[in-house]
Amino acid sequence: MAQLLAVSYEGQKVYRFTISTKEELDALTNLKDHPEFKFDFWSSPKIGNVDVKLSDSALQFVSPLVNNYTVLIPDVEKLIQEQAIPYTPPSSKLQTNHSTSDLTIQNPFFYTYQNSSAIFQFMDGLGAKKDFIGYTFKQQQIFGYYFGTGNKTAIVQGGLHAREWISPAFVVYLAAFLAGSSQAAKSLLAEYTVLLVPLVNIDGYDYTRRADGDRLWRKNMQINNDSTVGIDLNRNYNFKWDTPGGASLDSMNETYRGPYPNAAPETKALSEYLAKVQNKVSYIDIHSYGQAFLYPWGYTCTVSSPDEPDLRSSSFAGAQAIASLYGTFYTVGSSCSNLYQTSGASDDYAYGVLGVKYAMTIELRDEGQYGFLLPPEQIIPVGTETVAALLAVWEYISKDSNLTSKYIPQTPTSTIPPTHTVTQSSGQPLPVQLFWLLFIFAI
């Protein structure tokens, strides 16, 4: 059924601008904070392809400045409506043999994007050990699920960004694979304990699905001090948090870093929880879109991480596994050089503070044809190819005789809010306020 969202994207398109000069880049970047027209950047401004959602009336500001552009998504609102319709497989596809204990292929659960309660209900039914991680801003419970008995811990996390629906869908698909009876799952789980956190930003995800919500919301749902809403959870981690150019300082912005590291309860809860998890060998944060394997560093392009050779090779193993199934092409590289500079992101934190050697972000399908609005019929193919990728990454890790990162983990700096946020609303020092209080009582 068509869903009517309060935020309508009628008349909006996604354009791909191909930026080839610094002048073009500056011109496009300057439009980011246009007072009248909202330029919604689906990918960050850089030399190369930049995807931006805007209305036709706003295009007049860009077209004279940027030579090359194409329309990626001609009707955003139409696609939003279509994406809510569950996939119905052709009957021919239902005839193939498969084990009844296989919970992935042909499971109608994966014909559509599920809501958060359905996601947790499905996860609860898989018989994994469940652990409470912490609360979201709206007091919803974030859970982790443990599969396997191996002595290497592999973490896979989904749903940090609200609008990237394929991310939690994939982590649940992976859970179904791990709970199934395949030999591949069994041998993996003899060597690894896999910790899955299927949906971190539950509040944001719910908001993208609500009738009065916004399908393209990215941040959490925290009310900021200035009454704006949301912190970008992937800019709020406590590692190189205040690197210039790595995140936005503007609370209205999609990539708002928050007032201080771990200001978002979701980031804080995950950071504290993961610090206590033992024998962590890999941390994989699942996002969309762009088809890329990314690894530290994100906060800088000038130094490469000391484990770059292994990070690159393990990522290549993953990318190759994906390509060999359906030919889906993934790029491989450090977050900063392959994508753009970002500070306070989860993978840098896992690598830089938690000391996890194989810290990565995977940007799932697609390359921009549907972007965040990936049709539900792609959930199972994405699930199949990405499970193959992770198996290849973990196989690479199994052969690594030294799982200790070459980087010496940094102790996080304090996350105590800056004093001005706890100053009384009048802005006057406490003794002055006490004076007035006593004065009032006295009269």
Binding site for ligand 0X9 (CB under 6 A): 161, 164, 234, 287, 294, 298, 335, 339, 342, 345, 347-348, 361, 363
Closest distance of CB 297 from ligand 0X9, Å? 7
Nearer Cβ to ligand 0X9 (213/298): 298
Return the DSSP state at 376: G
The listed partner (Zn ion, ligand 0X9, none) that binds 298, CB under 5 to 8 Å by sort, is ligand 0X9
Nearer Cβ to ligand 0X9 (193/236): 236
Q: Which residue is nearest to ligand 0X9 (CB)?
A: 298
Counting Cα atoms < 13 Å in the Cβ hemisphere of 262 gives: 17
Number of helices (H), then strands (E), in the chain: 13, 12
The listed partner (Zn ion, ligand 0X9, none) that binds 345, CB under 5 to 8 Å by sort, is ligand 0X9
The listed partner (ligand 0X9, Zn ion, none) that binds 361, CB under 5 to 8 Å by sort, is ligand 0X9
Q: Which stretch binds Zn ion (CB under 5 A): 11-19, 75-83, 139-147, 161-169?
A: 161-169
Closest distance of CB 287 from Zn ion, Å? 3
| Cβ atoms of residues 318 and 293 within 8 Å | yes
Question: How far, in Å, are 240, 367, 414 from residue 341 at the CA level?
Answer: 12, 20, 23
The listed partner (Zn ion, ligand 0X9, none) that binds 348, CB under 5 to 8 Å by sort, is ligand 0X9
- Secondary element (H or E) of residue 178: helix 166-179
Closest distance of CB 247 from Zn ion, Å? 13
Return the amino acid letter for 60: Q
Closest distance of CB 184 from ligand 0X9, Å? 28
Examine residue 53 and tell whether it contacts Zn ion (CB under 5 A): no
Examine residue 287 and tell whether it contacts Zn ion (CB under 5 A): yes
Examine residue 257 and tell whether it contacts Zn ion (CB under 5 A): no
Q: Could you check whether the bond before residue 366 is cis, i.e. omega within 30 degrees of 0?
A: yes
Question: How far, in Å, are 113, 142, 168, 235 from residue 119 at the CA level?
Answer: 9, 12, 8, 25
The listed partner (Zn ion, ligand 0X9, none) that binds 367, CB under 5 to 8 Å by sort, is none
**Residue in 161, 240, 257, 357 binding Zn ion, rule: CB under 5 A:** 161
| Cβ atoms of residues 219 and 177 within 8 Å | no
Return the DSSP state at 440: H
The listed partner (ligand 0X9, Zn ion, none) that binds 342, CB under 5 to 8 Å by sort, is ligand 0X9
Nearer Cβ to Zn ion (16/161): 161
Identify the sign of the CA torsion 207, 209, 210, 211. positive
Closest distance of CB 40 from ligand 0X9, Å? 12
Angle (CA) 290 168 287, round 5°: 25
Return the DSSP state at 284: E
Nearer Cβ to Zn ion (164/385): 164
Closest C-alpha among 72, 81, 27, 24 to residue 48? 24
Alpha-carbon distance 416 to 135, whole Å? 19
Closest distance of CB 342 from Zn ion, Å? 10
Angle (CA) 327 330 331, round 5°: 145
Q: Which stretch binds Zn ion (CB under 5 A): 72-80, 163-171, 379-387, 405-413?
A: 163-171
Examine residue 219 and tell whether it contacts Zn ion (CB under 5 A): no
Nearer Cβ to ligand 0X9 (203/363): 363
Alpha-carbon distance 400 to 292, whole Å? 23
Closest distance of CB 164 from Zn ion, Å? 5
Nearer Cβ to Zn ion (201/314): 201
Alpha-carbon distance 439 to 4, whole Å? 55
Marked catalytic residue, from 363, 367, 377, 385: 363
Specify the 3-state DSSP secondary structure of 270.
helix
Alpha-carbon distance 14 to 1, whole Å? 24
Respond yes or no: is residue 82 known to be catalytic. Answer: no
Nearer Cβ to ligand 0X9 (41/122): 41
Alpha-carbon distance 51 to 44, whole Å? 8
Alpha-carbon distance 349 to 80, whole Å? 33
Examine residue 163 and tell whether it contacts Zn ion (CB under 5 A): no
Nearer Cβ to ligand 0X9 (145/289): 289
CB neighbour class for 95 (10 Å; exposed up to 12, middle 13-18, buried from 19): exposed
Closest distance of CB 163 from Zn ion, Å? 8
Angle (CA) 10 15 17, round 5°: 160
Binding residues for Zn ion, per CB under 5 A? 161, 164, 287
Name the residues annotated as catalytic. 363
